[in-house]
Chain A
């Protein structure tokens, strides 16, 4: 996944996306709160953050799979292949789902319907999005299973999800997602539920299919290891906002935002002699009550008065590198490393 993004227009362009959950009463959960980013053709973008930061809601918003009481707020804009997805009618957005934009999910066990064969479920995509007959759709499903490296695909297609291993199930999900050669694949924690060895296989498979099909991937994960292996550009999300965006090398070498710093230092590395992993103190705040000022200030070791009152904008740090942190304006305040182990390794 090292193909450089073409200098052309972005494939997907998200501006000021806000997805709020109106759970009744006065409380509104602002799960996604003013998120903007682009995905270029053939590019792999990583979206990282802890659970509850809004990364999954962001991905579901793209396909408008948010259900009541959730709502994509007015003023949000999602452009894909030159069309505004938020203004499409139901039929038009359905024609995009699973066709131009596909999704794969974390739990390959529960993401497949237990009462239909794997082949049926893959073939259904072709039946929904093309005029393929039952038989043609089935043949394409078997062919797709072969392409994603499932051995004896014709036999596997006739089996039910519970008869397959976790790795095979995720391959089946990928086959389902790639059936119509989508321009964008949204992979929401695609390897989290799998064994480490299988994880690597699935990531490799995605990379290989990406070059073959020529699609973009939006890779959502909490695992920076997965990002390091696959993504070209990284978005770090915290409390419903993007707090840092950088090319993958830059992020690992020179993270700017204290939250990113914390994430990196909480990641175990080979040859690391630390006895314990560093943790970021505190927990993710509740989406019904984001802290005033910088949403990370009460967990941040550098925080000063300004952070408690002024919400930081996205500061430009370098080429393609932005950070939502006042340290960009007052770099002198970055004293001794906030997280002991976050010091540069060499």
Chain B
């Protein structure tokens, strides 16, 4: 098991390097550069631009730039963001926690809801409840993320005024709140974006979980459990679910990239100051260092997620543990 995880870690590092390299070259293939985007005004004398290009090493051959960047990355230095006029690491430090909060809550919500829905459906297989929930999850499963975000925003924030429209906290009242009021206010602002993300992946997880549960429910050991006198509840929650979690754990590794991709749109729609919003802005301003760092961090998150999924597999399935 330890060897398997070590091999996975080496693979992961390799993939992160590949992703970073590809991103670096793709970005430099695109026309324009950070200087052009920030200083591209007819009023700026060409000398100034040349000066900055030289200062930031943008006049060097691509291979030299790549080499320098790689060395910097290896030292944990993400470089300097021109548009933000501060180090990339500090820009990311203010955005990453917001995204992690949003994704963490969405991930938790989607798995709890997805597994619970799958269980309800499997236990009522073939009956109207199963049918209705299946139809509902298919509805959300096939919906584009940005559209769902807009619709939720429109209905719950604009029409019914149940939840706030944008941001992470109330821009006016927040400084005057006490501690618990602040916590409440933040949670209040978290509901819509987190639910948007959670609904999409919960629908996928529910469909997956239902199928996995029904698969396991036909196994011989489930009959053994019933023949032992175990209650229906015990049979499903103890004997069936534990086995049916295995395929869903794989989904955990796959859900992260989907959530990350979704968070780009969701953060934009809800003006959530996270990595997604930052990335979208960075594309517009040709902020190479920030973009590269964002992509690298995203790939670290995704690979870390599948790494966690592998480790979880071993926790749940004793057969994996011993191989």
Contacts and interface: CB of A to CB of B under 8 A. Distances in A.
A115 B317 contact: yes
Residue of A103, A110, A115, A128 ringed by the most chain B CB atoms within 10 A: A115
B128 interface: no
Contact of A128 (B224, B230, B318): B230
A97 B228 contact: yes
Interface in A29-61: 60
B55 interface: no
B229 A110 contact: no
Contacts of B54: none
Contacts of B232: 90
Interface residues of A, number: 31
Contacts of A65: 223, 226-227
Contacts of B316: 115
Residue of B228, B232, B243, B316 ringed by the most chain A CB atoms within 10 A: B228
Interface in A96-118: 96-99, 102-103, 105, 107, 110-117
B317 A114 contact: yes
Contact of B318 (A95, A102, A160): A160
Given A114-B317, A115-B318, A97 B226 contact: yes
Contacts of B230: 94, 98, 124, 128
B226 A112 contact: no
A111 B229 contact: no
Interface in B230-282: 230-232, 234, 239, 242-243
Interface residues on B, range: 20 to 34
A113 B223 contact: no
B228 A128 contact: yes
B227 A103 contact: yes
A335 B229 CA distance: 52
Interface in B305-323: 316-319, 322
A183 interface: no
B239 A94 contact: no
A111 B223 CA distance: 8
Contacts of A63: 227
A116 B243 CA distance: 10
Nearest to A60: B223
A162 interface: yes
Residue of B229, B231, B322 ringed by the most chain A CB atoms within 10 A: B229
A102 B227 contact: yes
A129 interface: yes
B37 to A, nearest CB: 55
B229 A98 contact: yes
A94 B319 contact: no
A125 B230 CA distance: 8
A113 B225 contact: yes
Interface of B: 219-221, 223-232, 234, 239, 242-243, 316-319, 322
